[in-house]
Structure formats: C-alpha cells, structure tokens
C-alpha cells in the first residue's frame, strides 16, 4: 500500500510539473472598436445632441461642443460575440441645422458610414478599414 501511495504521489508530481501553472486568460484579439472623429472645419460651433452605440458600448464619450476649426472624438467597443460596433453621433450647428453621422463596424463585413449635413456644408470621411477602425468625418463649408 505504501508503494502504491509513493507511486501515486510521484505520478501527481510529474503531472503537475508537466502541466505547469495555468496561464492567465488572454483577451480576445478580435475586440472591435470604432474611434469616430469629427473634424469641424467650418466657422460654426457644433453642439452635441446625442451619441449612442446601437451595437457594443461607448467607452469614450465626445465632448459637448466642437469649436470652429477643431475636432473631437468618441469610441465604441465590442467583442466578437457582440457582432461588432455601430452607432451615431448628432450635432446642432450654432446657427441652425443638424449634422448626423452613422457608423457600423460589423464582424466579418465591410465598415459602413453615412453623414448628413445641411445645404452649404460637405461631409467626407476616411477610415483605416480595420476591425479597430479609426474614421474621421471632416465637415467643411462649400
């Protein structure tokens, strides 16, 4: 019986040494994020109306205003199980009118963007196309 116990203890010690200490869980590298920058290249102040994540969560909120000639940003995040990120950000223009921006950074699909501005303004965007996308919406006067 003592020989059996010694053999079992030896086997357990060998197994523990072979297996080693469990490694800490790693973060899923497929965390999706969307950093949405609004670059206000107009002569008007933009006042934040709303910002929302329709998929994922907002982890960095935009400021309440963007001065003329300045920029600001927000960021959403989601893991792969949440299907990516999506949302919107809306501003009132200082002298009337609204700017509405939509973004979608879905899992295994192309990123999609849209931007609506009043007459007299133009909205263009540029992104890096990655699952950790960084997109800049540039608002200019015609």
pLDDT bracket for residue 114 (50, 70, 90): very high
pLDDT, residue 106, reads 87
- pTM (predicted TM-score): 0.78
pLDDT, residue 22, reads 44
pLDDT bracket for residue 34 (50, 70, 90): very high
Alpha carbons within 13 angstroms on the beta-carbon side of residue 126 total: 3
Cβ neighbors of 133 (< 8 A, separation 6 or more) are: 33, 34, 35, 105, 111, 127
Question: pLDDT at residue 8 above 70?
Answer: no
The mean per-residue pLDDT over the stretch 46-59 comes to 96
pLDDT bracket for residue 35 (50, 70, 90): very high
pLDDT, residue 130, reads 80
Contact 118, 97 (CB under 8 A): yes
Contact 37, 46 (CB under 8 A): no
Q: What is the 3-state secondary structure (H, E, C) of 67-119?
A: CCCEEEEEEEEECHHHCEEEEEEEEEECCCCEEEEEEEEECCCCCEEEEECCC
Contact 103, 113 (CB under 8 A): yes
Alpha carbons within 13 angstroms on the beta-carbon side of residue 113 total: 22
The mean per-residue pLDDT over the stretch 67-81 comes to 93
């Amino acid at each position: 019986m003592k020989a059996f116990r010694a053999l079992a203890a030896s086997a357990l010690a060998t197994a523990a040494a072979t297996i080693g200490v469990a490694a800490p869980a790693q973060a899923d590298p497929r965390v999706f994020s969307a950093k949405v920058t609004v670059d206000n290249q107009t002569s008007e102040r933009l006042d934040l109306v709303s910002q929302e994540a329709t998929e994922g969560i907002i982890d960095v909120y935009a400021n309440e205003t963007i001065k003329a000639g300045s920029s600001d940003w927000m960021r959403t995040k989601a893991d792969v199980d949440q299907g990516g990120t999506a949302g919107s950000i809306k501003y009132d223009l200082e002298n009337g009118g609204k700017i509405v921006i939509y973004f979608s950074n879905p899992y295994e699909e192309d990123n999609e963007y849209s931007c609506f501005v009043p007459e007299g303004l133009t909205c263009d965007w540029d992104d890096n196309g990655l699952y950790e996308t960084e997109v800049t919406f540039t608002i200019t006067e015609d």
